[in-house]
C-alpha cells in the first residue's frame, strides 16, 4: 500500500492560521512526517505555527523548487513506499504557480493518490472580490519584464479578454507592481476594467476595481506588497 500525496496550502502572509486554513487541514499536516517543500525554512515556520512545534526535528524535509533537476523529482517517488507525503509551497496553494505540479504529475502516472486540501488562493480571492467575469477567466502568470514586450503582452491579453469575454489575471514581481499598474492603465482601452488586489487576507488588504480611464486620473502606490491584477475588456 503506497502513501498518499496531500497538497497542503499555507498562509499568504503573517496571519492567524485559523483565518485561512480549515482545522482539518492543520490536523492533516500534523499527522504527516515527510514533506516536499519549496523552501525548508518557510515550511518549518508554518508547521511550527500549525502545532508541530517540538516535533519539527523529527520531520523529514525534501526541497522541490525551480532549481531541482527532473531526475531528483523522480527520486522523491520512493518516499511513498514509506507512507504519506505533504507538499507545501512558499505561499498559498501548492502545485499551482510552483514546480510542485511535476511531483503531482508523476504521482498520477504511478497511481499514487493525490488529495488537494482547502486553503487560500490569492488568484481566486482576487477574482471573487473583483466583480469581473468569473464564468470565464484565464491566469497568465508573469508577463515579460521588458517594458515594450510587456505592453505588447498586455495588448494581446486585452484582445483575448474582449474576444472571449474572459477576465485576464496576472501577477508581478513586487518591485514592479507600480510600473505594471501604470502600464495596464495606459495601455488598456479607457473602458476596460482593471482590478488591483494587494495583501489579500492580511489586515492591510486593498482591493479596488475601476476603469482604465479612472485609474489614469488617480494612480495609487501599490508598493512592494504581494498583488494580483485583473482586467476585463
Between 101 and 219, name the residue whose CB sits nearer to a second copy. Answer: 101
Of the listed pieces 39-47, 53-61, 121-129, 216-224, which binds a second copy according to CB under 8 A? 121-129
Site residues (CB under 8 A) for a second copy, limited to 188-227: 200-201, 205, 207-210
Backbone φ/ψ region at 145: left (φ over 0), alpha (ψ -120 to 50), beta? alpha
d(Cα 64, Cα 87) in Å, to the nearest integer? 9
The nearest distance, CB 221 to a second copy, in angstroms, is 19
Q: Residue 21: which of 83, 80, 88 has the closest Cα?
A: 88
For a second copy, how many residues bind (rule: CB under 8 A)? 58
Site string for a second copy, 16-55 (x = CB under 8 A): x-xxxxxxxx------------------------------
Q: What angle do CA 204, 206, 208 make, to 5 degrees?
A: 175
**Which one of residues 44, 50, 120, 231 is an interface residue with a second copy (CB under 8 A)?**
120
Angle at 116 between CA 9 and CA 107, to 5 degrees: 115
Of 141, 54, 52, 127, nearest in space to 88 by CA: 52
Binding site for a second copy (CB under 8 A): 7, 16, 18-25, 93-98, 101-108, 114-116, 118-121, 123-141, 166, 200-201, 205, 207-210
Amino acid at each position: 500500500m503506497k502513501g498518499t500525496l496531500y497538497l497542503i496550502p499555507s498562509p499568504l502572509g503573517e496571519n492567524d492560521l485559523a483565518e485561512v486554513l480549515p482545522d482539518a487541514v492543520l490536523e492533516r499536516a500534523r499527522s504527516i512526517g515527510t514533506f516536499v517543500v519549496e523552501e525548508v525554512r518557510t515550511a518549518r515556520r508554518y508547521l511550527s505555527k500549525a502545532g508541530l512545534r517540538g516535533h519539527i526535528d523529527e520531520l523529514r524535509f525534501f526541497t522541490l523548487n525551480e532549481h531541482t533537476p527532473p531526475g531528483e523529482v523522480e527520486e522523491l517517488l520512493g518516499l511513498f513506499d514509506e507512507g504519506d507525503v505533504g507538499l507545501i509551497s512558499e505561499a498559498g496553494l501548492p502545485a499551482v504557480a510552483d514546480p510542485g505540479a511535476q511531483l503531482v504529475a508523476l504521482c498520477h502516472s504511478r497511481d499514487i493518490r493525490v488529495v488537494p486540501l482547502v486553503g487560500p488562493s490569492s488568484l481566486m480571492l482576487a477574482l471573487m472580490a473583483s466583480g469581473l467575469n468569473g464564468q470565464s477567466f484565464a491566469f497568465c502568470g508573469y508577463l515579460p519584464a521588458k517594458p515594450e514586450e510587456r505592453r505588447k503582452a498586455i495588448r494581446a491579453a486585452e484582445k483575448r479578454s474582449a474576444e472571449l469575454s474572459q477576465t485576464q489575471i496576472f501577477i508581478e514581481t513586487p518591485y514592479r507592481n507600480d510600473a505594471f499598474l501604470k502600464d495596464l492603465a495606459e495601455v488598456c482601452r479607457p473602458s476596460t476594467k482593471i482590478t488591483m488586489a494587494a495583501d489579500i487576507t492580511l489586515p492591510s488588504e486593498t482591493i479596488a476595481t475601476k476603469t482604465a480611464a479612472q485609474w489614469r486620473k488617480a494612480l495609487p502606490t501599490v508598493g512592494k506588497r504581494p498583488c494580483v491584477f485583473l482586467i476585463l475588456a
